[in-house]
Amino acid sequence: MVKREKIIANIMRGIDRSNIVSIMGPRQCGKTTLAKMISSKITTSHFFDLENPQDVARLSNPIMVLENLTGLVILDEVQRMPSLFPVLRVLVDRDKSPNFLLLGSASPDIVKHTSESLAGRVEFVHMSGFDLREINNMNHLWLCGGFPRSYLAKNLDNSLIWRENFVTTFLERDLGQFGINVSPQAMRRFWFMLAHTHGQVWNASDISRSLGISFMTAKRYVDILSGAFMVRQLQPWFENTTKRQVKSPKVFIRDSGIYHYLMRIKSKNDLLAHPKLGASWEGYVIEQIVNLCGERNCHFWRTQAGAELDLLWLNGQEIIGFEAKCTDSVTTTKSMHIAVNDLKLTHLFVVYPGKETYQLNDKITAISLTELLPKIQGMQDN
């Protein structure tokens, strides 16, 4: 079993600060396993699985059941019982209340209900599958992605079959449970088409014309996948410069394993020979960094003249830049120098699959992804 100590510590701090902590993340990313690990660390805890009819029946009179509990109350798949949110608001406003840990698959529903009923009372913790702070096999994590059952599968065939089944279940069951009424076939075609734009600036008009759907339908579909943590829309940075800049987001399939399934990449050899190798590496690197630094603090930058930066991180008063390069030999480019000067970067890290870290100049460093993440953590701690 992978010990997810960092995310557990983050959640425990949240429980100390807030009466309600909500773990947000996609299905099958390990939320339930994590909650059970946390439960074992707390003297008194109670677990309700709202996909279990017996637990749903136990909560038919929720105030009577919950108000007498102490310690930590864990509510799994809480979006399936939205009537609980007003009850939780009443309970946590009383002098004595247990702490609540809410687990929900990322969906617009759970965000809507918590924001309406629990405003100011809930702390959100976002989680995904495994990341490189928990796993020391960078290449396997890149190929198979971070979903635990995909990463831990006995072989690549089993991993690929799990991802195929995950996509099918997500389309045919999960979206309906989220209250989203879309055709699974139409969403599948859109998702596969979107994978081909991975790492590119989002152009709803192009993809809608290709699929024969409206501009608004394409926008709705990408928002649905973003709300379910399947897709990341990385927002542009367009302040503090006089140059004309791109103002549409870039889109990425968040989990590299799901991306590789959608692109029919089955093995490391397939990946290394694929024309989307560079895009795959960029998405993988960006997801690892954004998960650590926080989405609100991360952007990409691109000018109409063609200068660009894969990712910039706002770390207090500093702006740190990142470029992902899937190459054995890293060199500086004109675009890197423009980004350093125009954005006044504190430093620019060029992240590549190698193991050595070396200076390209006083402002630009080539670095491995495994060396970069602890360095970012150190910057945050300072």
CATH superfamily entry for domain 5-126: P-loop containing nucleotide triphosphate hydrolases (3.40.50.300)
pLDDT reported for residue 96: 82
Can you give the three-state secondary structure of the chain, one letter per residue?
A: CCCCHHHHHHHHHHHHHCCEEEEEECCCCCHHHHHHHHHHCCCCEEEEECCCHHHHHHCCCHHHHHCCCCCEEEEECHHHCCCHHHHHHHHHCCCCCCEEEEEEECCHHHHHHHHHHCCCCEEEEECCCCCCCCCCCHHHHHHHCCCHHHHCCCCHHHHHHHHHHHHHHHHHHHHHHCCCCCCHHHHHHHHHHHHCCCCEECCHHHHHHHHCCCHHHHHHHHHHHHHCCCEEEECECCCCCCCCECCCCEEEECCHHHHHHHCCCCCHHHHHHCCCHHHHHHHHHHHHHHHHHCHHHEEEEEECCCCEEEEEEEECCEEEEEEECCCCCCCCCHHHHHHHHHHCCCEEEEEECCCCCEEEECCEEEEEHHHHHHHHHHHHHC
pLDDT reported for residue 246: 65
Render pLDDT for 162-174 as a digit per residue (tens, 0 to 9). 999 999 999 999 8
CB 197 within 8 A of CB 211: no
CB 257 within 8 A of CB 143: yes
d(CA 172, CA 188): 10
CB 144 within 8 A of CB 119: no
Answer CATH for 138-381 from 3.40.50.300, 3.40.630.30, 3.40.1350.70, 3.90.79.10 = 3.40.1350.70
304 Cβ partners below 8 Å, 6+ apart?
243, 244, 245, 246
* pTM for this prediction: 0.92
Tell me the β-bridge partners of 20.
Answer: 100, 122
Weakly modelled stretches of the chain, pLDDT under 50: none
pLDDT reported for residue 57: 94
Sketch the domain layout of the chain as residue ranges. 5-126, 138-381
Kindly compute the dihedral angle of the four CA atoms of residues 166, 200, 126, 255, in this order, to the nearest 10 degrees: 30
